[in-house]
Structure 1
Amino acid sequence: MLRSWLRQSPRALRSLTNLKCDPFASQFHLRIAHHSLRSIRSVQTATTESQDHVPLRKQLKQGAKSLKEHKRQRRAAEEASREKWELTVGIEIHAQLNTEAKLFSRAATSSADLPNSNVALFDLAFPGSQPEFQIPTLLPALRAAIALKCEIQPVSRFDRKHYFYQDQPNGYQITQYYEPFARNGYIDLYSHDGIAPEDGDQVRIGIKQVQLEQDTAKSQEYPPSMQLLDFNRVSHPLIEIITMPEIHTPATAAACVRKIQAILQSCNAVTTGMELGGLRADVNVSIRQRGEALGTHQYGGIGGLGQRTEIKNLSSFKAVEDAIIAEKNRQIAVLENGGVVEGETRGWTIGSTETRRLRGKEGEVDYRYMPDPDLPPLIIGQDLVAELTKTLPTSSDALVEMLMAKSYGLPIEDAKPLIELEDGARLEYYQDVVDILHSLQQDQDPKARGGLGRAAGNWVLHELGGLLTKADLSWDAERVSAQSLAQIIDQVQRKRITGPTAKQVLSMVFDGDLRPIPQLLEEENLILRPLSREDYVALAEMAISQNPQMVEQIRSKNQLGKLGWFVGQMMRTGEKGRVEAQKADAILRELILGEAP
């Protein structure tokens, strides 16, 4: 009826405007017309608002669908670009060495002190001051180079790299451009390191050289025109690690930086990682069409590679990956539109989708490299290299291989966290637990002892780790001793307590219960008193009778996952700590599926 009136109203209104009757009648009809117009407008507004309103659940669903479609399109674009264009990446990593003194002065390297409080005359380029190489700074640099499988050069020299910027008071940076102290290393990356699937299970990235150099001052900008300088960081010892241009995917580039950082930290070569500013990465990015012959690239590159650009000062692994993707896409767009990629230095801001131009790329001529006349050659004896090589910790790759071997039997998902957490402290604790557990289980069948390493890994990482996370506490090996945890696992293996009871006992020890595990189990009456078959059948029949629809779904649709739910019901219904999950599952399969006992 309302729709019929709305359809008729415009015609009625037009006729009202043409009325030629007495004034009172006209005013009356005009008032009706005005009221009709207001009604029409209010109905139209309400209709529009109802059309614009979308329920939140539908909005979220549409948003998720849109995001999924965007990711699909991005993957498709990536695959299409990979078929036509080849990406090549080389990385330069600058890492602050873990030393007490600076590279060329005796000033302290502490970055937590007041600005400009740890500064020697040479750090300020005071006239007449000379660099004095601090020998202890060489030791962490050598550990890093050895861990990266580099050849240590018996003789190396320092050079001056000239540029004029306020963070470098000398007007040059002392580095090792021509004759670095280490060359020809490599790093192996595996699928568990996070390399791209298209790179296979393993890829080896060559390391061209590792060189010593001094850091620059720390600058802090205060727009519009003020900039403050802290010279505490000047001459802090750095190593620059230069990889070969052998990386062809953004994910593998990020994995490379991540693993190099882990290696440097494991051999105590660096102060901090990327997250605290102790490690920075520059990436060199170039593309070329696949199948092009080596030689001069049609777009200006040399040696078969496209013209490279450098992205400076990337401060996170995600930034490395995202910046490479953005720069690759930019270069492809330039070339496909008939342009030329220029050699330049570019920047990246976290959260951005594009790199930005900073300046034209400087070359060897621009920096006017020259040997530093104030520093003698650096001579490294092979006896020192041999001694440092012997004292290096086991590499992370060797540790992963050891943990995945038969003696421990851990999956890669558990092996990697054990190595990475708490700088190896969790791994030492885990090994102590396994050793104690093996001694406790000596009277058991050797076949039964085969899974002890895996069981211990689960308890150390997930059960004990979960309690630490829930309590928001850092790692403390004394909170639950390795002896106590091994005894808890031993009781589970011997089937003297159930898994839920073991978790309860672990929680009690975690909260400060100092009683020995056997005493705690006795006094709390937690030792398993096995149920009879009849008890299990009674519990199972009760759960089955209360949930006939789920039973039918298991039988008709083979939804075996629902058996776990029934097991949970039986454990909740039965006496606490007495229902064993395996026995409950077997009884349920017998009653519901007719499987033989």
Structure 2
Amino acid sequence: MLRPWRVSGAFRFYSYRPLIRSAQFFDSSRALQTSVPTDRVPLRKQLKQDAKGLKAQKKLRKEAEEASRQKWELTVGVEIHAQLDTETKLFSRQSIPIADEGGFGSPPGTGAATSTSDIPNSNVSLFDLAFPGSQPEFQAATLLPALRAAIALKCQIQPVSRFDRKHYFYQDQPAGYQITQYYEPFARHGYVDLFDYDGIAPEDGDRVRVDIKQVQLEQDTAKSQEYPPSTQLLDFNRVSHPLIEIITMPQIHTPATAAACVRKLQAILQSCGAVTTGMELGGLRADVNVSIRRRGETAELCQYNGVSGLGQRTEIKNLSSFKAVEDAIIAEKNRQIAVLESGGVVEGETRGWTIGSTETRKLRGKEGAVDYRYMPDPDIPPLRIGEDLISQLSGDLPASPDSLVALLVGPEYGLPIDDAKPLIELDDGARLEYYQDVVDILREIQVDSNAQIHATLARMAGNWVLHELGGLLTKTDRAWDADIVPAQSLAHLVDQLQQKRITGSTAKLVLASVFDGDRRPIPQLLEEDGLLLRPLSREEYVALAEAAIALNPQMVEQIRQKNQRGKLGWFVGQMMRTGEKGRVEAPKAEEILRELILEK
């Protein structure tokens, strides 16, 4: 069975004064007559007008966006920088401290590497500080998570790769250069497939393939903290933390699909145990390259990553969330269109983005490869990767997100895509593993049942794991923990419900009891608390229904005359409240109500 690694419009405020149609106020000298202004609008009407106005604005924006899309073509390339899950730095023996057992991105039984919470400058080697005479020592263990990532991204692993020095002078780079792989990276020519369930733009269809130009190893920089007006503190713990940089081809043409691409890349890196954390904790950062051209235009266009005929690109650096990726691209697209439509020229430059902003801002003029003065690093020998290592890692690679989706929506589980996706994404894979445990136990309990019942049990288990148990976690603001409700308990609860030994409302009460700490076996709990279903007779259902109908004749007429059948559910609720606890089954109650109200 495929299993993942358990890796760790604006509100308007109104003031209310007494509404006076007309009144006269007198003082000792003269009479003053006042009346309410004729333009005052009742609150409910005003709210409806505001809602209509907001809807109209959205429609206009959508039409403007569509008109813009027909006239201008957006092209986006993505660069992902992800921290690798290793215990040592890339070029020194300095260890990266372990956070807690079973951390994010780790295979079972290992910890999660991170230095974000350590005392500043407490995990630094001489080489990290560029101390004169210190030499880089490539740590082979750092290559393993990088290879897992490249294999998961369908890349071709290069048998020989080399490191280069990328020169630039900034306080977070003590040597004056960053060691990376520019000319000969360790992996090339991969791809990532994006599907409609990944959140791509509707206009992009059901599937988009984005090619990956290369994946390269490189060292991270120091962490800087500004204290205006003139102080900047540096923490060198992060220097030489191993990164991979994933460079896609410029093949994305909508902001939503660009955000979906970053989200999918993160999911793949997490699923194969390659990274420490995702965007939400700073372990993954995205840069986007944005260009605009008029559709059909061919003259005076630029080239990027070997693709010619593109508009002048700008780079937006260090985006830290999926929403920021989408919003920054939209803002930059609009800015470039405005520049071009006013007769201006888009400059090649690096720009920044602040969450909540509506515009990108210039950081510096774009530096090219010549400015960086890339050159081979003379102190690091070539990196040679054997085919046997690639074969072994490929065989040990866990299931990919797409294969898990296919498994969950397939005949073995039969889940809707809206349930399959959250199960894969929630709690770093732990929720999915718990769900599969519940299903396995259910199938052991009902081992003699047919495939159709097994599929029904799998769908029921998905609903209870995601919605019922998930609702209790949300309500109590508790983090996921498989021991809160043992898989054995939930499986037996779903089994009792599926076999109609308890009602749905009883099952929810029992789940809440187990959630609060009741550890009695489910059959024992149901027996001792008298919760097993004792079905009502037809006569008892009719009596409960007639009593509820007699107390609410007006609502009965609304159902009959205005066909407001949704109100039948209210009557079902009344029957369940007045009937004996745990004995009223909602489907049977509704069936009797339909007979008495609609058919009689």
- TM-score for the superposition, normalised by structure 2: 0.88
Is the CA contact 1:299–1:340 (under 8 Å) kept in the aligned structure 2? Answer: no
Q: Which residue of structure 1 aligns with residue 144 of structure 2?
A: 139
Counterpart CA distance in 1 for 2:174 and 2:452 is 68
SS of the residue 1:561 aligns to: helix
Match of 1:70 among 57, 70, 94: 57
Give the alignment partner of residue 454 of structure 1, picking from 459, 478, 484.
Answer: 459
Cross-structure match for 1:170: 175
TM-superposition CA deviations, 1:110-166 (whole Å, max 9, x none): 232221121111111111211111111111111111111111100000111111111
The answer for the alignment partner of 1:220 in structure 2 is: 225
Q: Which residue of 2 aligns with 1:576?
A: 581
Structure 2 residue 242 is matched with structure 1 residue 242: no
2:212 to 169, 183, 207: 207
**Aligned-pair CA distance for 1:366:** 0.8
Equivalent residues of 2:302, 2:312 under 8 A apart: no
Q: 2:470 aligns with which of 465, 468, 473?
A: 465
- Contact 2:302–2:309 (8 Å) recurs in 1: no
Task: Label 1:578 to 1:333 Cα distance change in 2 as closer, same or farther (>3 A).
Answer: same
Q: Distance in 1 between matches of 2:524 and 2:357?
A: 60
**2:213 alignment partner, SS class:** strand
Q: Is the 8 A contact 1:296 1:302 kept in 2?
A: no
Would the aligned equivalents of 2:302 and 2:310 in 1 still touch at CA under 8 Å?
A: no
Deviates more, 1:441-450 or 1:274-283: 441-450
Q: Is residue 265 of structure 2 the alignment partner of residue 297 of structure 1?
A: no
Among 89, 103, 108, the residue aligned to 1:102: 89
Structure number, greater radius of gyration: 1
Residues 51-106 of structure 1: per-residue CA shift (max 9 Å, x gap): 79777656655554443333222212111101111100001111111112111112
Higher relative contact order (CA 8 A, sep 6+): 2
Q: Return the alpha-carbon distance in structure 2 between the equivalents of residues 219 and 298 of structure 1.
A: 34
What is the RMSD of the two structures over their aligned residues, measured on CA atoms?
2.6
Q: Distance in 1 between matches of 2:349 and 2:286?
A: 16
Provide, for residues 220-245 of structure 1, a one-character-per-residue CA deviation record: whole Å limited to 9, x for no partner.
Answer: 11111111111111111111000010
2:71 to 69, 84, 87: 84
Shift of 1:265: 1.4
Cα distance in 1, alignment partners of residues 303 and 236 from structure 2: 42
Q: Which ranges in structure 1 are unaligned for 5 or more consecutive residues?
A: 7-30
Secondary structure, counterpart of 2:411 in structure 1: coil
Residue aligning to 1:376: 381
1:326-337 pair list within 5 angstroms: 326-337=331-342
Contact conserved, 2:302 with 2:308, CA < 8 A, in 1? no
- Amino acid across the alignment from 1:333: A
Match of 1:520 in 2: 525
| Cα offset, 1:552, TM superposition | 2.4
Query: 461-470 or 131-140: which moved more?
Result: 461-470
State the shift of 1:204 in Å. Answer: 0.8
Q: What's the CA shift string for 1:405-438, capped at 9, x where partnerless?
A: 1111101111111111222211111111112212
Offset of residue 302 of structure 1: 7.8
Residue identity opposite 1:264 in structure 2:
L
Q: Within the alignment, does 1:274 sit opposite 2:261 as a pair?
A: no
CA, structure 1 residues 176+407, in 2 after alignment: closer, same or farther (shift >3 Å)? same
Q: In structure 1, what is the Cα distance between the partners aligned to 2:229 and 2:136?
A: 36
Give the 5 Å matches for 1:110-125. 110-125=115-130
Q: State the 1:177 CA deviation.
A: 0.5
Structure 2, unmatched stretches of 5+, are 1-20, 97-114
Whole-Å Cα distance in 1 between the matches of residues 279 and 39 of structure 2?
Answer: 47
Matched length: 560
> In 2, are the aligned partners of 1:311 and 1:345 still within 8 Å (CA)?
yes
When structure 1 is superposed on structure 2, of 108-117 and 573-582 the one drifting more is 108-117
Which digits, 9 at most, give the CA deviation of each residue in 1:375-403, with x for residues without a partner? 11100111111111111110011001101
What is aligned with 1:397? 402
- Matches of 1:590 and 1:360, distance apart in 2: 76
Shift of 1:354: 0.6
CA distance in 2, matches of 1:437, 1:383: 41
Asked whether the equivalents of residues 533 and 582 of structure 2 are also in contact (C-alpha less than 8 Å), the reply is yes
**How does the TM-score come out when normalised to structure 1?**
0.89
- The structure in which a higher percent of residues are helix is 1
Q: Corresponding residue for 2:349?
A: 344
Mean CA deviation greater in 478-487 or 76-85: 478-487
Contact 1:296 1:303 in 2 (8 A): no
- Cα shift at 1:585: 1.3
Aligned 8 A contact 2:149 2:272 in 1: yes
Give the 3 Å change call, closer, same or farther, for CA 284–469 of structure 1 in structure 2. same
Following superposition, the deviation at residue 582 of structure 1 comes to: 1.2
User: 1:558 & 1:52 partners in 2: Cα distance?
Assistant: 38
Aligned AA (1:104) = F
Query: Which residue of structure 2 aligns with residue 406 of structure 1?
Result: 411
Could you tell me whether the CA contact under 8 Å between 2:250 and 2:307 is conserved in 1? no
Q: 1:118 to 1:443 in 2, by over 3 A?
A: closer
Match for residue 234 of structure 2? 229
Specify the SS of the correspondent of 1:430. Answer: helix
Q: Deviations over 1:318-352 (max 9, x none)?
A: 11000000000011111111111111111111111
CA offset digits 1:158-215 (Å, max 9, x no partner): 1111111111111111110110000011111111111111111111111110001111
Between the aligned residues of both structures, percent identity stands at: 77
Residue 253 of structure 1 is matched in structure 2 by 258
